[in-house]
Amino acid sequence: TGRFQYSNTDYEVFQIASKLMNSGAELTKISDNIYGSIPMNAMKLQSEVLNRINLFEEESLVVSYILQDDYQTFNIESSETDFLIDSIRLVKESTVALLLKEQEDKTFKGSLRSRTHLDVQKIASLFGGGGHKAASGFSTSLSMEEITTKVRNAIRLQT
């Protein structure tokens, strides 16, 4: 539920959280382990990813990327970069965020997030991917430019 901030946060979620707290779950420890503890190398890569952000105002879309070279440069595993989509989605002027991660075979994995009614699962499905209305992903052999163009077009069709 992303700290209880996403649309899937409902009464049942709070009931479950309440039961966990009553059973001794340590909210501070859990929160720190999930959201508050990022390795230094990941923070340095985050800075690079933020510097690469491109805002497409017409579509309210932000896009950034991670290249294979970045994993060596910052001595980091791909799995340690999953939080970066949440960093770029914070741009106030955006409603959709796209983070592209180059794979070893030079293809890309894309992560999409939406903060509005716009359905990113529909966009991910254009690349053979899927997920949820507000959070989806895909893999493709298209270039970053082709991916971005396709996503921008898909956003325009939904608005």
The position carrying tokens 């001794």 is: 24
CA angle 68, 61, 119 (to 5 degrees): 100
pLDDT at 107: 97
For 147, the 3-state DSSP assignment is helix
For 10, the 3-state DSSP assignment is coil
Burial (Cβ within 10 Å: 0-12, 13-18, ≥19) of residue 114:
buried
Mean pLDDT of the chain: 91
pLDDT at 159: 82
pLDDT at 6: 64
pLDDT at 7: 66
74-108, pLDDT tens digit by residue? Answer: 999 988 898 899 899 999 999 999 999 999 999 99
Instruction: List Cβ<8 Å contacts ≥24 apart for 101-108.
Output: 101/65, 101/66, 102/65, 102/66, 102/67, 102/68, 103/68, 103/139, 104/68, 106/68, 106/141, 107/139, 107/140, 107/141, 108/65, 108/139, 108/140, 108/141, 108/142, 108/144, 108/147
- The one-letter code for the residue type at 64 is S
pLDDT at 2 over 70: no
- The one-letter code for the residue type at 153 is N
For 16, the 3-state DSSP assignment is helix
Q: What is the mean pLDDT of residues 53-77?
A: 96
Share of the chain above pLDDT 90, in %: 68
Q: What is the pTM of this model?
A: 0.84
| More confident: 11 or 129 | 129
pLDDT at 139: 97
Q: What is the mean pLDDT of residues 22-51?
A: 85
Contact assessment for residue 120 and residue 134, using Cβ atoms and an 8 Å cutoff: yes
Taking the C-alpha atoms of residue 115 and residue 92, their distance in angstroms, rounded to an integer, is 10
pLDDT at 51 over 90: yes
What are the start-end ranges of the E strands in the chain? 54-56, 61-66, 96-102, 108-114, 130-131, 135-140
- The one-letter code for the residue type at 122 is K
136-149, pLDDT tens digit by residue? Answer: 999 999 999 999 99
